[in-house]
Structure 1
Amino acid sequence: MEQVDCVVIGAGVVGLAVARALAEAGREVLVLEAEAAIGTQTSARNSEVIHAGLYYAPGSLKARLCVCGRQLLYAYLAERELPHRRCGKLIVATHSDQAQALQHIQSQAQANGVHDLQALTGTQARRLEPQLRCEAALLSPSTGILDSHAFMLSLQGDLERAGGIVVLNTAVARAECGPDAIVLEVEDGTMLAARSVVNAAGLQALPLALRFRGFDAARVPRPGYAKGNYFTLSGRAPFQHLIYPVPEAAGLGVHLTLDLAGQARFGPDVQWVHSSEDLTVDPRRGDAFYAQVRRYWPGLPDGALQPDYAGIRPKLGGAGAPAADFVIQGPGEHGVRGLVQLWGIESPGLTSALAIGEYVAALAAV
């Protein structure tokens, strides 16, 4: 049986950031990825937004790691000249009842250490974006966009320069947690004995945790699959900022985001599904998109939205469950030596990735 120091399961953006942090701390790191390429699941099916840290409960891991991660991310992207833009976003109240919600977001952001939000009247918001309709807005100058694939390739490069290895097409079937090592069995029958294991398998992290013999299955929460559909705008958008409505219960509402080429897309919505494999966009959902987008952009032309792609949020709990924080459990929480479990790493996981890497590397060093 082959012996290895650290195994990270999953080569999405979070798994790569964790592996990089471990390797740069001097650990021998092997990343096992079930797919044929890095970052093909949740990491490739999102809005590619750099979040400021506005929406999360003060003191939560989401709040702390998002704010820290955003600072680390901008510095990382600038230092390596990776594609990104600090374009800013407007959170808009489309009727007067939502003004209080904007005040709550601003207060919560300040509690999280985000102090650059600017409260705008509808008139002030329209000076920035003449096509916008709103009663009031918040301007978040720290929000931006990036090329997530370029970021992941850079993380992989850092990892490999530090001696780490990414192995593709290698799904972990099960594990045995022992006093001195965690023995992993790969689907092809290969056995690995690791001193440390990080389960960063994204949508598969919860099912995989149930296959760790010696780990208390009662600790594993129920997964929830919140599908987010995206529609692309035909033609160029008349907006320079990202446009977000006041958040919904299970998501941030159908918002307008831009890619680095200026192409606009709308989404994600929230569609609860039973499988993480359900990635088809139903064109009939476009009717609801038109209705929601026209609340803040009444000039959206008929026939301008085309089905694009969908992603699945790896949520903890199903429809109606309260919003959950990131769950990052090390030996101090669950008692299994050498094991770190990452569950429910949905948005703002991309923004938080570098901070999560540092956090997990510290847990794995215990």
Structure 2
Amino acid sequence: MPASVLGTVKIGILNDMADFSEPDGCGAVPGDVTGWLERELAVVREAGRITASIDFIHAYGLGLPSGTADAVERAYRQLAEAGCSLIVGPAIGDNALAVTPLAEQLRIPTINWAGAERARGRYMFQHQVGSHEDESLVIARHMAAIGCRRLAVAYDLSPVGTRHLKYLEDEARVLGIAIVSRQGLSPLAEDAAETVDALLESGPDGFVYLGLGVSAPAVARELVADGWDGPNIMNTAGLRGYDEDFARDCEGWFYIDMHSDRNATLRTQMKQLNAPRSQALAVAKGHDLGRLVAEGLARASDLTREGIRVGLEQVKWLPAAEGLEGTLLGFGIQDRGALHGRYLVVRQWLGGETREVLAA
């Protein structure tokens, strides 16, 4: 009998989130993905592909931007000392960057579900919930497609915001779009009057926000106060619109999401869970993250940290619930990005609901 179906494995759940008010069908609290992992592990267990006992070990450290990277690092070490063979988390890009060196140093296979492409390594795998690099390309191309040629950009003064800005500038240059003004602001800003006023003075025909999203409502409210009626778009910060207050502040904004109404895998999962449309994103990413963990364990030759790392590398070409139909899920020997294909979807907040924007 393969060693991967014997014994006990400890899975660490690293929660770095303060309060991300997104409906989640299986997680009991924001940032807790245990329910989704249990659901997908039950599938492989029922198929007889794994019989190992699973112990979930939880650690919490309030990470950036509200907390500190040090808190997340302490939580990661706590899971390492508890003997976890696999760690899932963090969820915020800045925090994933902070713990990546620890994953490499301690040689613990880890799956972050954040947007930092740089948060990858031999032991650090990334389930891309957005991408600091890819999202800005999609944003630039969407704005070009609707006729914008002069963009004003508000961005968080953080690794998230500045990384997005770099890739937006690069793609805008390729497309012949001018970034006529750029202004940084605190990731926790509650007042963006000076920032927005300065940006609008440049006479843009399109407005972009890049960041984690805490400061986005302040930017959106100031645009309304200034009478701006041009097109707006933000990165996956717009996922915060699953909270009705955020959606109301960002009415009419385009943003980058992770789910498509046309994805057959997602539709199947939604039907099985009898989930409302408002939970589509939670279901999509929860299913995919859970399946990565379940398949990685089921394909491991043994339940050591090294065996699980190799098992994750064997996960390939699974249909993803995230992204457009045809998006695939998996890793490889030197491939640490889980989602392959058109996994980013342009959507828009209208009347408190998210609407998919079909590509021209």
Structure 1 length normalisation: TM-score? Answer: 0.24
Between structures 1 and 2, the one with greater strand share: 1
Between structures 1 and 2, the one with greater helix share: 2
Structure 2 length normalisation: TM-score? Answer: 0.24
